[in-house]
Amino acid sequence: MAEIKKVVLAYSGGLDTSIILKWLKDVYHCEVVTFTADIGQGEEVAPARAKAEAAGIKEIYVEDLREEFARDYVYPMFRANAIYEGEYLLGTSIARPLIAKRLVEIANATGADAISHGATGKGNDQVRFELGAYALKPDVKIIAPWREWDLLSRERLMQYAAEHQIPIDFAKQSKKSPYSMDANLLHISYEGDILEDPWAEPEESMWRWSVSPEAAPDTPTYVELTYQQGDIIAINGEAMSPATVMEYLNRVAGANGVGRDDIVENRYVGMKSRGCYETPAGTVMLKAHRAMESLTLDREAAHLKDELMPRYAEMIYNGYWWSPERHALQALIDHTQSVVNGEVRVKLYKGNVIIAGRKSATHSLFDESIATFEDDAGAYDQKDAGGFIKLNALRLRIGGRRQQRD
């Protein structure tokens, strides 16, 4: 085992990372630096500092990264209309590059030899954290306790905590949700318990951010989004920061039953996994952004983006945010967004996001004088369509004649 003197731990203060903190000290006999990120998970992060102090940690980082997360990770991803396997809006995936970056930066600042995380050996997060860390610090050492220890159940973790007098609220743990959950500004995910049976319907009590469509208001809510270069900069005429935009849309869309999804997805490590997701803001953002692009983006540019999107989404899902291919695609995507400016009006109603209008005073490609079904005063010569069709049919006609001869 390589000598490790100091480790930066991604630390939430919960059961797993509290045990990892103690385990790192006992197994590696090293100093531990804790890093706790607020990326909009909706839980108080300040207690993590107190828990780390109580555990004797001298270097403690607790950071509010909500704006950076929204501005530099979520917004660029939504410029691409990224969605994995046609359903997943990548809520967990897109948070990992930021956490990996800060782990590396803190390791550099504190002179740490290694970083550590609490991702299990079965999931995607271990890949995402570590690919990101290696891209940013190629020689970094990474400690993944779930791949080393034998504490492979919640019961065994609780036993370890009791044996080593780790301060855990056992009453709280016993009342904790039975689901494995991950939350940030973009989404909250649920896995485990009854969800391990793909036939089992999620319990209504599981959902945290949204009402059921059946219980949503009978009156729709209208929201007007202002876009500048592909990003939402204002809602209902009020300028907002990226994080504030997402907080507002999570609240309003969730209240209208928007954003629930139940998915069986293909993990990068090879297995299929069933998860449920609440992504109210992201569901609105995807639909509205496509509406804005439909008005302002050239046809072939839009189609090229659609062809590249699954590859881009897969890069994020699999942990390649810091790869050269993602950077190259992002440059292309961002270039297309210079014209994606204007307003989109959406109607939120009982789980649905309905486009109720879109306009762009500066970059609309919609020409009513050409598209009209009324008299267009010669703006479009319909006779031209005959030659257009014949030219495009030429290869089909030649192939058809050959088939007749055969």
Catalytic entry in 96, 128, 274, 358: 96
Are residues 41 and 17 in contact, defined by beta-carbon separation less than 8 angstroms? no
Average pLDDT over residues 225-248: 98
Query: Quick one: pLDDT at residue 206?
Result: 96
- Check pLDDT > 60 for residue 194: yes
Does residue 304 form part of some domain? Answer: no
pLDDT number for residue 331: 98
Pair type for strands 31-38 and 60-64:
parallel
Give the distance from CA 89 to its chain's centroid. 6
12/181 Cα distance (integer angstroms) = 13
Q: pLDDT at residue 381 above 80?
A: yes
Statement to judge: residues 28 and 170 lie in one domain: yes
Q: Cβ contacts of residue 149 below 8 Å, gap of 6+?
A: 23
Residue 302 has pLDDT above 80, yes or no: yes
How much is the pLDDT for 172?
Answer: 53
What band does 176 get if pLDDT is binned at 50, 70 and 90? low
pLDDT digit string, tens, across residues 206-230: 999 999 999 999 999 999 999 999 9
The catalytic position among 12, 66, 93, 125 is 125
Confidence of residue 335 (pLDDT cuts 50, 70, 90): very high
The answer to the question of residue 346 being in a domain is yes
**Is residue 211 located within the same domain as residue 164?**
no
Q: What pTM was estimated for this model as a whole?
A: 0.94
Residues of the chain above pLDDT 70, percent: 97
180 is annotated as an active-site residue: yes
pLDDT over 90 (residue 131): yes
Does residue 286 fall inside a structural domain?
yes
Q: Which of 120-124, 177-181, 394-398 has the lowest mean pLDDT?
A: 177-181
pLDDT in tens, 32-53: 999 999 999 988 788 899 999 9
Residue 255 has pLDDT above 80, yes or no: yes
pLDDT at 253: 98
Question: Is 16 tagged catalytic?
Answer: yes
Asked if residue 402 belongs to a domain, the reply is no
At 164 the pLDDT is 87
Among 176, 211, 232, the domain boundary falls at: 176
Do both 171 and 189 map to the same domain?
A: no
Q: Domain for residue 307, yes or no?
A: no
46 and 167 together in one domain: yes
Q: In the sheet that 188-191 helps form, which strands lie side by side, from edge to edge?
A: 180-183, 188-191, 272-278, 260-266
Name the token pair of 123: 């999931």
Question: Do 95 and 215 lie in a common domain?
Answer: no
Q: What is the mean pLDDT of the chain?
A: 94
Kindly state whether residues 163 and 60 are assigned to the same domain: yes
Domain residue limits at 161: 6-65+90-176
Please state the three-class secondary structure of the chain as a single string.
CCCCCEEEEECCCCHHHHHHHHHHHHHHCCEEEEEEEECCCCCCCHHHHHHHHHCCCCCEEEEECHHHHHHHHHHHHHHCCCCECCCECCCCHHHHHHHHHHHHHHHHHHCCCEEECCCCCCCCHHHHHHHHHHHHCCCCEEECHHHCCCCCCHHHHHHHHHHCCCCCCHHHHHHCCCCEEEECCCCEEEECHHHHCCCCCCCHHHCCCCCCHHHCCCCCEEEEEEEECCEEEEECCEECCHHHHHHHHHHHHHHCCCCEEEEEEECCCCCEEEEEEECHHHHHHHHHHHHHHHHHCCHHHHHHHHHHHHHHHHHHHHCCCCCHHHHHHHHHHHHHHHHCCEEEEEEEECCEEEEEEEECCCCCCCCHHHHCCCCCCCCCCCCHHHHHHHHHHHHHHHHHHHHHHC
If asked whether residues 210 and 142 sit together in one domain, one would say no
Q: Which of 73, 71, 113 shows the shortest CA–CA distance to 90? A: 73
**146 and 127 in one domain?**
yes
Could you give the percent of the chain with pLDDT greater than 90? 86
What is the reported pLDDT for 171?
A: 45
- Domain count across the chain: 2
- Find the CATH number of the domain harbouring 220: 3.90.1260.10
Mean pLDDT value across residues 358-379: 93
Residue 100 belongs to a domain? yes
Does 176 or 100 have the greater pLDDT score? 100
Q: Give the pLDDT band (50/70/90) at residue 153.
A: confident
Please state, in angstroms and rounded to a whole number, the distance separating the CA atoms of residues 233 and 268.
34
154 pLDDT more than 90: no
**Is 270 part of a structural domain of the chain?**
yes
On whether both 153 and 267 belong to a single domain, the answer is no
Pair 128, 16 in one domain = yes
- Given 16, 38, 113, 231, which residue is catalytic? 16
Do the domain assignments include residue 364? no
- Name the domain boundary from 138, 155, 176: 176
Q: Are 107 and 195 contained in the same domain? A: no
Out of 71, 72, 180, 182, which one is annotated catalytic?
A: 180
The per-residue pLDDT for 393 is: 96
- pLDDT value of position 175: 52
pLDDT at 170 over 80: no
| CATH classification at residue 57 | 3.40.50.620
Task: Based on the fold, state whether residues 138 and 254 are members of the same structural domain.
Answer: no
The encoded tokens of residue 149 equal: 């220890």
The yes-or-no verdict on residue 87 having pLDDT over 50 is: yes
Domain boundary among 151, 176, 201: 176
Tell me what pLDDT residue 166 has.
Answer: 87
